[in-house]
């Protein structure tokens, strides 16, 4: 058999096998269709694969996956509730025993990603609804709220923020016409340790001598989470208006302040902090740069959100002196500082402008001061007048401009409301430059 015959036989055999396969395939397809099965679908072309993919809502696993997860956009917002609290969807007339879920995840059940079960309360009247809202925000804060420092909660010039933040601050302050300046040894040391007094300049300011103090301070605060460490170093220039044997005043470093502050509660409605600072007697006492004793200021710092553009700051502290070489003069006092902050304008959300109204109150619980009307010929033998029952009150406005959250500058003034009792300055002016990092 030659080569041509062999190739012809192979070709015939191949055609026979192919015809057999085609016949078998057609029989299977016919039988499948006759039994009710669907005809084979055509394979999609490559450009049909992506458009034909199922959407998130049509995917068979979408309901099972997304049905038990509350998306971020669905969280309740404190900003839409009364007083700005995290009130969620509080049902009217809810009984005290009913369960309450602040984000509407599973009303009436113990549900929530890492959240405690919240209980509703009755709120039929205005006051009851307000108290219920406060309770809900304190007991069940909005899980979407992220604690942190915000510009509106730190506008005060004399009032501290409840939340620490890492920052540097340069502050310029002018205390004008400070009278009874030895009271409680808070600012200036009393006679015998502090500036030597005299009655020889009568009749000038025999009853009401005063001192002007200009201060520049560098304040450093280093914060880590809810805790911050602070250091404040002032440089003073004093100018006594009569009443000193040597006249004039002096300049140099004043008492250095160091301490710690922390936030112990933080929700969108309310922040509560605590501070403990110690004043170290660095300043020279004979020219009015220091008080000559160690003292501490301990107390609470409060922040309250009134609305998205309005915030209230408050400090309630106790000033406590330790020892002192001159008895009867040092004495404790309760200090109250408050600031009402309002955003009035913004170039854009990162460049807001705030106005504030600030109050400072000093309530003397012990101690005394040197009264000039009791000084005769011996200024060293003056008898102190007791301080309890007296208080100083100051009030004034301020403005602060932010250039993003990193940098701000502002100016404020406070004026004495009862200068007849004395003051830490009938007029106080303050300029701030702050940088946060």
Residue with tokens 């006051």: 127
Q: Token match 């609804």: residue?
A: 129
Residue 326 forms part of a structural domain: yes
Q: Looking at the structure, tell me whether residues 226 and 189 fall in a common domain.
A: yes
Task: Give the CATH number, domain containing residue 218.
Answer: 2.40.160.40
Indicate whether 125 and 174 sit together in one domain.
Answer: no
**Domain C-terminal end among 145, 173, 197:** 145
Whether residues 127 and 161 fall in one domain: no
Burial class (CB within 10 angstroms; exposed 0-12, middle 13-18, buried 19+) of 97: exposed
- Whether residue 258 contacts residue 231, with contact meaning beta carbons closer than 8 Å, is answered with yes
Q: Which domain holds residue 118?
A: 80-145
Element (H, E) at 30: helix 3-34
CA distance 27 to 394: 103
Q: Is the pLDDT of residue 296 over 60?
A: yes
Q: Is there a contact between 102 and 79 (Cβ–Cβ < 8 Å)?
A: no
Question: Same domain, yes or no, for 183 and 130?
Answer: no
Locate 135 and state its tokens.
């309770």
- What are the backbone angles phi and psi of residue 150, rounded to the nearest 5°? -135, 145
288 shares its domain with 429: yes
Half-sphere exposure of residue 35: CA atoms within 13 angstroms, side-chain side = 7
pLDDT mean over 39-62? 50
Total domains present in the chain: 2
Question: Pick from 145, 161, 184: which residue ends a domain?
Answer: 145
pLDDT for 406? 93
Q: Are residues 374 and 228 part of one domain?
A: yes
Within a domain: 12:
no
Residues 297 and 334 in one domain: yes
**Tokens linked to 83:** 């007083």
Residues 6 or more apart whose Cβ sits within 8 Å of residue 312:
302, 303, 304, 305, 306, 338, 339, 340, 341
If asked whether residues 177 and 98 sit together in one domain, one would say: no
The model's pTM is 0.72
In a domain, residue 388? The reply is yes
| Domain co-membership, 227 together with 108 | no
Does 155 share its domain with 90? no
Q: Do 258 and 122 share a structural domain?
A: no
**What confidence category does residue 263 fall into, taking pLDDT thresholds of 50, 70 and 90?**
very high
Query: What percent of the chain has pLDDT above 70?
Result: 65
Question: Alpha carbon 204 to chain centroid distance?
Answer: 48
Closest C-alpha to 186, from 403, 391, 7: 391
Q: Which residues pair with 311 in a beta bridge?
A: 305, 341
pLDDT tens sequence across 9-39: 666 666 666 666 655 555 444 544 455 555 5
Q: What is the mean pLDDT of the chain?
A: 77
Please, are residues 182 and 221 in contact by the beta-carbon 8 Å criterion? no
* Final residue before a domain boundary, out of 115, 145, 175: 145
The verdict on residue 396 lying in a domain is yes
Task: Let me know whether 314 and 403 are in one domain.
Answer: yes
Q: Are 77 and 144 in contact (CB under 8 A)?
A: yes
Q: How many angstroms separate the CA atoms of 212 and 426, rounded?
A: 10
Residue 431 falls within a domain, yes or no? Answer: yes
Longest dimension (CA), the chain: 153
């Amino acid at each position: 058999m030659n080569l041509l015959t062999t190739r012809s036989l192979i070709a015939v055999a191949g055609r026979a096998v192919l015809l057999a396969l085609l016949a078998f395939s057609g029989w299977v397809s016919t039988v499948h269709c006759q039994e009710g099965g669907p005809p084979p679908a055509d394979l999609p072309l490559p450009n049909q694969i992506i458009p034909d993919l199922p959407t998130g809502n049509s995917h068979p696993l979408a309901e099972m996956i997304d049905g038990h997860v509350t998306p971020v956009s669905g969280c309740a917002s404190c900003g839409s509730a009364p007083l700005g609290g995290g009130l969620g969807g509080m049902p009217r007339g809810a009984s005290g025993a009913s369960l309450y879920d602040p984000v509407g995840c599973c009303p009436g059940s113990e549900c929530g990603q890492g959240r405690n079960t919240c209980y509703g309360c009755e709120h039929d009247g205005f006051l009851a609804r307000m108290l219920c809202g406060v309770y809900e925000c304190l007991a069940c804060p909005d899980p979407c709220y992220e604690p942190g420092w915000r510009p509106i909660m730190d506008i005060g010039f004399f009032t501290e923020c409840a939340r620490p933040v890492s920052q540097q601050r340069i502050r310029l302050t002018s205390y004008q016409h400070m009278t009874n300046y030895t009271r409680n040894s808070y600012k200036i040391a009393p006679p015998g340790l502090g500036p030597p007094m005299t009655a020889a300049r009568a009749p000038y300011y025999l009853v009401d001598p005063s001192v002007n103090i200009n201060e520049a301070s560098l304040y450093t605060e280093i914060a880590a989470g809810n805790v911050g460490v602070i250091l404040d170093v002032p440089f003073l220039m004093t100018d006594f208006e009569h009443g000193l044997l040597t006249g004039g005043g002096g300049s140099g470093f004043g008492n250095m302040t160091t301490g710690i502050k922390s936030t112990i509660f933080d929700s969108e409605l309310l922040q509560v902090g605590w501070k403990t600072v110690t004043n170290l007697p660095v300043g020279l006492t004979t020219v009015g740069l220091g008080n000559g004793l160690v003292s501490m200021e301990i107390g609470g710092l409060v922040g309250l959100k009134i609305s998205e553009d309005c915030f209230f700051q408050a400090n309630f502290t106790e000033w406590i002196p330790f020892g002192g070489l001159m008895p009867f003069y040092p004495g404790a006092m309760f200090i109250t500082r408050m600031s009402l902050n309002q955003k009035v304008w913004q170039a854009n959300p990162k460049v807001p402008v705030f106005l504030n109204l600030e109050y400072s109150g000093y309530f003397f619980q012990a101690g005394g001061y040197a009264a000039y009307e009791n000084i005769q010929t011996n200024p060293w033998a003056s008898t102190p007048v007791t301080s309890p029952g007296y208080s100083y009150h100051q009030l004034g406005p301020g403005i602060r401009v932010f250039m993003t959250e990193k940098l701000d500058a502002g100016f404020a003034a406070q004026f004495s409301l009862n200068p007849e009792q004395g003051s830490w300055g009938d007029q106080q002016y303050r300029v701030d430059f702050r940088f946060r990092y």
